[in-house]
Amino acid sequence: MHTPSTNRKRNSKTITTFASNKMKMRIKEAKFVKSSQKVNECPKPTMPEYAFIGRSNVGKSSLINMLCKRKKLAKISGTPGKTQLVNHFLIDDKWYLVDLPGYGYAKVSKTKRAIFSKLNETYILTRENLMCLFVLIDSRIPLQNSDLEFITTLGEKKVPFCIVFTKTDKLKKSTYDEQITDLKNQLLEHWEELPPLFHTSSVSGKGREEILNFIDDVNSQW
């Protein structure tokens, strides 16, 4: 089986990540730029870009708001499948945070789901300044087939990605440790090596420092 790659050349630059325990990035400004129905409508690829994606109702909007410390930057809805466009947010005039439509089950028509899938595929495979894709997985439930299929495709296409476990505050520590171990074992049944993993909570802010430090390290190579 393919080993996931975190090294992908973008603009002739190779991504390398470094371990860091100190908070290096402090977001001062986060602003919505635009929503795009097609990839060629996205902002010009002049800055490094980090995209977030996951199954519907995985907590993506809440995570984005937590990372940026803005309560209403990304719209939160109780209805799965509300993100239907590629949404760009400019962070400190230095890099883009991108909110992508979800994959897997959503309360939308098959036609719309096909459109979302094509939009995501085109963006992920052709966006030249996409430095890393953060794939969100709900820590409370077993790995879903849609998650496995999606990250397997990323590995085959050599797309640099990380896995972000969400909603970790919803589980007791003992249950959480067991659940994460099970998720890792499920992944290792198909992978020789795991990509970077982040454990997050949009309630407590857990994982914020680690993700922003990771982005800061990659930005230094832009």
Which residue range is the domain that position 161 belongs to? Answer: 24-219
What local confidence, expressed as pLDDT, does residue 10 receive? 40
Domain count, the chain: 1
Specify the range with the lowest mean pLDDT, choosing from 38-42, 103-107, 124-128: 103-107
Q: Of the spans 9-18, 19-28, 39-48, 95-104, which averages the highest pLDDT?
A: 39-48
| Domain assignment present for 97 | yes
What local confidence, expressed as pLDDT, does residue 80 receive? 44
Query: Burial of 133 by CB count in 10 Å (0-12 exposed, 13-18 middle, 19+ buried)?
Result: buried
What local confidence, expressed as pLDDT, does residue 67 receive? 97
| Domain assignment present for 9 | no
| Domain assignment present for 8 | no
| Domain assignment present for 66 | yes
Instruction: Check which CATH number belongs to the domain holding 110 and give it.
Output: 3.40.50.300
| Domain assignment present for 4 | no
User: Each residue of 82-110: pLDDT tens digit?
Assistant: 467 999 999 999 999 999 988 865 555 55
| Domain assignment present for 64 | yes
| Domain assignment present for 6 | no
User: Each residue of 46-63: pLDDT tens digit?
Assistant: 999 999 999 988 999 999
Could you give the CA distance from residue 65 to residue 83 in angstroms, rounded to a whole number?
A: 14
| Domain assignment present for 17 | no
Sign of torsion over alpha carbons 5, 188, 19, 219: positive
Local structure of residue 103 (DSSP, 8 states): B
